[in-house]
Amino acid sequence: MLTKQNEKAIDRFVERLGLMSERNGSTRTLGRIFAILMTADRPLSFSEIAQRLQISRGGMSMNARSLVEQRLIERVSLPGERQDYFQLPQDLWRRLFERRMRQDKELFDTTMQLMNEDASLSADVRKDLDQLTRVLQLSLEARSKLMETLSVSAADPE
């Protein structure tokens, strides 16, 4: 059971993730739904989430659909229940990590292709693109090593 202090901490977390979501080009509600599910110890119903966040059914539906399509949450059914329930996928963090690696790899490849194909780039532009590719390459290498470490620890939970 949550204490008032725990509820307030979770409420602050939910609002902060909502604001972060908004700053990153998504909706505040989407971030808040995601945050509520991050702090839940069981699947939550459509109605529970909408009520807790004080959002309309339409807003809940649109944002939940977007989260499901992005594979950030999953819809589950519970025995004897007719309404939809939502939870985070068990492999969510691996999925997020892999998605970010694919995005960085695509940006790296696209930038390298531009640098190899376009001789008319100015020295300043080339320098900036070269720095970007170095940062992306280091990021990809670090993430790849971290993924290996995470895979090993998940396979061998001493």
Please tell me the predicted confidence (pLDDT) of residue 108: 95
Distance CA 27, CA 48 (A): 19
Please tell me the predicted confidence (pLDDT) of residue 59: 93
Please tell me the predicted confidence (pLDDT) of residue 98: 87
The Cβ of residue 64 has, within 10 Å, a number of other Cβ atoms equal to: 22
Please tell me the predicted confidence (pLDDT) of residue 62: 96
Please tell me the predicted confidence (pLDDT) of residue 149: 83
* DSSP per-residue codes, 9-38: HHHHHHHHHHHHHHHTTS-HHHHHHHHHHH
> What does the domain layout of the chain look like in residue ranges?
4-87, 92-155
Distance CA 140, CA 106 (A): 11
| Architecture of the domain made up of 4-87 | Orthogonal Bundle (1.10)
Please tell me the predicted confidence (pLDDT) of residue 80: 92
The residues, any chain, with a CB within 8 Å of residue 38's CB and separated by 6 or more, are 17, 88
Beta strands in 20-138 (DSSP E): 44-45, 74-76, 85-87
What residues in the chain have per-residue pLDDT under 70?
Answer: 1-2, 152-158
Please tell me the predicted confidence (pLDDT) of residue 151: 73
